[in-house]
Structures are given as C-alpha cells and as structure tokens.
Structure 1
Amino acid sequence: MSNLSALQIYVINLEGATKRRAHIEKSFAEAGITFQRVPAIDGKTFQWQPSDYSEGWYRCLHGREVNRPEVGCYLSHLQALHTFLATEAHFALICEDDISLESELPAVLSAAVTAPRFWNVLRLSGLSEGRSLRVNRLVGDSWVCLSLARMKGTGAYLVDRKAARTLTHRLLPMKLPYDHALDREWFYGLRAATILPFPINQKQKRFGSSIQTYAQPKLSSWRRLLTTYPYQAFNESMRWLFRSAWFLALKLRKAGSNHLPLPRLPFL
C-alpha cells in the first residue's frame, strides 16, 4: 500500500456506534489499510438550517416526508469531502461503517489511483450491480464499468479533488437522498464509473439501518404523479443518454489511439 500516498481514506461513523467502529477497524487492519474516522452527524438530534435541507424539493423530487437519519447521512458525506479538501491528497476513499472489504481491495485501490483514468467519482460498492458496460480491465478480474442504471448505496466510493469541490458546492441544500444525488454526476459536469465486481460489500446485513428504520411513508399518489414520477423518468433517461454517449466516446478513443485526448461531448 506504499503507492497510495496520494489517497486519504475516511470512514463515517456515529459517536455511539461502537460495534460498527470495532468492525470497521478490524476489517481495515486485516487489509493493512489505515483510515481516518469522520464523526457522523446524527440527524435525529441535529438542528439543520434551510441551507442544509430543502423540505419542498425533497418532497417534490423524492416523494417522501423527511427522514432525519437520512439528512444526517447526507451531511456527513459532505463533511467527509470537506475533510479531504483540507488536505493535499489527490484522492479520497469515502466509506460508511457497515461495509465488508474484499481481498482484492488493496490491489484495486493501487491500480485505480495510478492507472490512466477518465472518472471523477469511482463507485466501489453498491446494493446491486445493475446493467453495466465494461470499459477496461483495471487489475485481475476487476473492470472499470459505466452503469446505465441507478447505483443504490454509497458504502464506498473514490473521488478526486474536482469531484469533492463540485459536490460540496452543488449538493446543498439537500433535495434527494445522498446516493440519488451522487448518481447524477453528469448534472454537475463530472464523470463517474464503477468497479465490478465490487471490491467492497455493502449488502451484508451485519448491522441494521437507521435510515430504513426511520423511513417515512410516500406522499399521495397524485402528488407523486405530478412531480416525482416525471422527474424520475427524466433523470433515468438522462443517465442512460449521457453514460451511453460517454461509453461510445471512450470506445472510439480506445479503437483509435490511447494518446488522443478524450473527446469533449457537446452536452458535458
């Protein structure tokens, strides 16, 4: 792991979540990786400001009432990004504390931060792989892919400094759950990719989810029909369009010359 001097690793952890903290410390120690803990914001007690969270936009786009732990999770990820920007590191791995590390993670991290790249955000975990297109092999059986479907969950992801600066400026106030917002990278002028198979597992139910525990009911069908469903249909269409076009651009470059600059798509 000596070639990861340009990478900082952060784990978001609530003050009282001692079992999760012990689990994540053991997991990273076994992998020979050091990390910095970022104290999570407890949404159940935190008094946020209108600049932190927009109730109207959240209802409109997500179609639910406020979920306080979800707001805390969202703001905690932004806090981790601010912590990264206060350093001189080139990359950050942002993790939640309910993940499990696969054996190939050290090799994947080493390759991801040293190999030529076209991404600003690199997802290393998810709740499902969805429909993905392979771009190139990273190391071993790990591939850099573009996902055409929404990537659920933000258990672990790499960001460069451009992504961290952009996200901390563009993601407030909160209008969507964090995994929804992060998965709209094209809207912020960023590019995202995914490593498959995931080198970090977020699907093991070792710990309960406070977000799911406090999940709020959906708004009425007619309200979601007027606002939420049209937004979701538009967003899914844009994801497919932008990522498909970017995949085609990458393949054309690969078929031509790796020395050519990546084409700038007219809508990016």
Structure 2
Amino acid sequence: MLNQPKVFLINLDKSTERLKKSSGRLAAQNIQFERIPAIDGTKLTNTEIQAHYSSQLNSKQYYRNLGYGEIGCFLSHRLAWQKIVEQKLPYAIVLEDDFQLAGDLSAVFSTIESLKFDWQLLKLAAYQNRTRPIKATKQVNEQFDLVLHKKPLTGCCAQAITYHAAKQLLSITEQFGCPVDTQIQRTWQTGVSVYSLMPFMIEQDGKVGSEITAACQNQVIKKHFFRRKYQQLADGINHYKQTKIALSELI
C-alpha cells in the first residue's frame, strides 16, 4: 500500500487468537503493522503500578479506583505513544486487538493525509459501535466528514495520533488516575484536540469479550455515587467550554 502510515497493534502475549484474527484482517488489505506487547495489569507489582498510577490523582480525577486491567490498558497505550515519539513519526494508527474492518482503510489513510488543518488525535472507531451527539461536521471529501462530538468518544479501539499529541499525552500522564479513554476525553487537561473521522471504517468486534473487564472480575473496586455525580457535572461543564474552542478550530 502506498504511503501507508505506521500501524501499531496492542496485544497481550496470551491473546494469541486475537493476534491471529487481527493479523488476518489487516493482511486482507495488505496493511503491515508493528505489534506492541500489551501490559497485563494483573501481573504488575505494587511498585510497578505506583510508578505511574496515582491513588491521589485517582481520588481527584475519577469516581472509583481503577482495576488492574484498566491500569495495564493505560500503560499499554503509553507504550504506543512512546513508539510514535521514539520513531519520530508524523502520526500513527493505534489499534487494540478487538477491532474489525468495516471498509477500505486505504481511503482512511489518504483522507488523513489530505487534512488541511493541524489535527492531533482522530477517533477512527466508536466504543461498542455506539453513536453519540454531534456538535458539528465538516466535509473532507465525498466519502468522509470530520466530526466534532459534544463530548469526545470513549474507547480506544482505533485512533490516529500525531507526534505532538503522543508527546503531550506522555508528558501529562507520567502519573494518571483515570482510564486512558477518559483522560483523552479531557482535552482541557491534555491540550490535545479530539475529532472523529466518519463514517468509521473500523468497528469493535462485538463477539470479543473485554479483557479489561475480565482482569477486574476478581478485584474489589470501590464505587462512590456522589463523587461520580460531581465529576460528571464538572466534566460536563468543561466539555461544553472545550467544544466551543474546538468548534472554532474546525470552522
């Protein structure tokens, strides 16, 4: 494929079947990729967890403590961002191994190359293929629109991330206290703008269960109802303000 961007695939060592499916799906469109061995949060020592996961930040940033799977997921995405920075890539595609292809990725790649503004992070799939309220759309070509959601989509199944965004995200998450997709949503904290390129040519494979959920099944996770409501309110206000700024950049 001409001008294929670097594609990274996050995959746990034990998830050999997922790797086989992912490899086959990408090979069907002649797409090469580099595998990133995902971090299994259940295998981390307390020292390894505390090197990046902060319980103090968690109490401020999120309504409950994170599960081992969520911590491992965050650290795995940090590995992908490090690869982008270390390899000095203009941008790269980062995939989790529960994706499936719904269209021609070469069209996605060529469209990204054609973008005429200083984008930083593009969502290329929706969490569990859900729809979310849209603030504005801008047509890029006959096939794709650049979409600004009222709140950036959750999930990290498929994203395009620039060098600048990867470097910024690494810096801001040296210590973290919330899930990786929640952190990416909070653009007022990261300074990294988030748009979606739609319609999505990548989807989450609904037949594949969540390894994050599985990793948390044997872990007691404390939930706090009022803290959750407060954080939802605070985030809602910040999302509203930040969307107005992102809208001006899109127009």
* Same fold? TM cut 0.5: yes
Q: How does 1:11-50 map to 2 (within 5 A)?
A: 11-47=9-45, 48-50=48-50
For 1:61 and 1:218, locate their aligned partners in 2 and report how far apart those are by CA, in whole Å.
Answer: 15
CA contact (8 A) 1:108 1:139 kept: no
CA contact (8 A) 2:94 2:159 kept: yes
Taking a change above 3 Å as real, the CA distance of residues 129 and 109 of structure 1, as seen in their structure-2 partners, is farther
C-alpha displacement of 1:32: 1.6
| Percentage of identical aligned residues | 24
- Corresponding residue of 2:161: 159
For 1:77 and 1:57, locate their aligned partners in 2 and report how far apart those are by CA, in whole Å.
Answer: 19
C-alpha displacement of 1:218: 6.0
- Corresponding residue of 1:96: 96
- Corresponding residue of 1:210: 211
C-alpha displacement of 1:210: 1.9
Taking a change above 3 Å as real, the CA distance of residues 141 and 217 of structure 1, as seen in their structure-2 partners, is farther
- Corresponding residue of 2:123: 123
CA contact (8 A) 1:90 1:161 kept: yes
CA offsets per residue over residues 29-62 of structure 1, 9 Å max, x none? 1112111000000101012242310123324432
CA offsets per residue over residues 144-188 of structure 1, 9 Å max, x none? 111102412100101111100000110132211111011112322
- Corresponding residue of 1:266: none
Taking a change above 3 Å as real, the CA distance of residues 24 and 249 of structure 1, as seen in their structure-2 partners, is closer
CA RMSD of aligned residues (A): 1.9
Unpaired runs of 5+ residues, structure 2, are none
CA contact (8 A) 1:112 1:138 kept: no
Taking a change above 3 Å as real, the CA distance of residues 249 and 15 of structure 1, as seen in their structure-2 partners, is closer
For 2:195 and 2:121, locate their aligned partners in 1 and report how far apart those are by CA, in whole Å.
Answer: 6
CA offsets per residue over residues 206-234 of structure 1, 9 Å max, x none? 221121232566645xx441x33222211
- Corresponding residue of 1:142: 144
Taking a change above 3 Å as real, the CA distance of residues 113 and 186 of structure 1, as seen in their structure-2 partners, is farther
Secondary structure in 1 aligned to 2:31?
A: coil
- Corresponding residue of 1:261: none
CA contact (8 A) 1:119 1:191 kept: yes
Secondary structure in 2 aligned to 1:26?
A: helix
Secondary structure in 2 aligned to 1:117?
A: coil
- Higher Cα Rg, which structure: 1
- Corresponding residue of 2:175: 173
Higher relative contact order (CA 8 A, sep 6+): 2
Unpaired runs of 5+ residues, structure 1, are 252-268
Secondary structure in 1 aligned to 2:108?
A: helix
- When normalised by structure 1's length, the TM-score is 0.84
For 2:236 and 2:200, locate their aligned partners in 1 and report how far apart those are by CA, in whole Å.
Answer: 22
